[in-house]
Amino acid sequence: MTFTINVTLPDWVDERDIFIVAGMEVVAIRRAYQKTINVKKDRCSQCGKCCMDVSKDHFAGVGSDGNCEYLSFDKLSNLYECKIGPYKPFHCCVVDQIIPECTVTYEVK
């Protein structure tokens, strides 16, 4: 399904990032002071790499394996997922991952 959103936002939003989210997944981002919007083209492959080997002071906690406390491998689907599902921190949904394996890509509109 494709649809167009036509909204006039107040001027003060220019100094803020804007995220359009479907459930817990970001589908579009407009960074502060940008005139364009980035629409998600390719989704996360759920490889889990972005939640592995996190810093010792990771905000969500660190498991004994050095990964985020909430990272879980689902043997049935062979994918990684967040154990806290819809309650995961907003930060985890909107952070730009800087890892070579990341499959998320955006298209500038």
Residue 28 to residues 15, 52, 71, 86: CA-CA distances in angstroms?
Answer: 17, 25, 24, 19
Residue 96 falls within a domain, yes or no?
yes
The pLDDT tens digits for 15-61 are 999 999 998 899 999 999 888 999 999 999 999 999 999 999 988 89
Tokens of 29: 């981002």
Residue 3 falls within a domain, yes or no?
no
pLDDT at 45: 93
- Backbone φ and ψ of 20, nearest 5°: -105, 125
pLDDT at 73: 96
pLDDT at 60: 87
Tokens of 49: 């790499």
With residue 94 as reference, give the H or E element that holds it. helix 90-94
pLDDT at 106: 94
Residue 7 falls within a domain, yes or no?
no
C-alpha Rg value of the chain to the nearest Å: 16
Closest-CA residue to 40 (of 102, 105, 103): 105
Residue 6 falls within a domain, yes or no?
no
The 3-class secondary structure across 7-35, one letter per residue, is: CCCCHHHHHCCEEEEECCEEEEEECCCCC
Range of the domain at 89: 14-108
The pLDDT tens digits for 49-99 are 999 999 999 888 999 999 999 999 999 999 999 999 888 888 888 887 778
Residue 5 falls within a domain, yes or no?
no
Residue 59 falls within a domain, yes or no?
yes
pLDDT at 59: 87
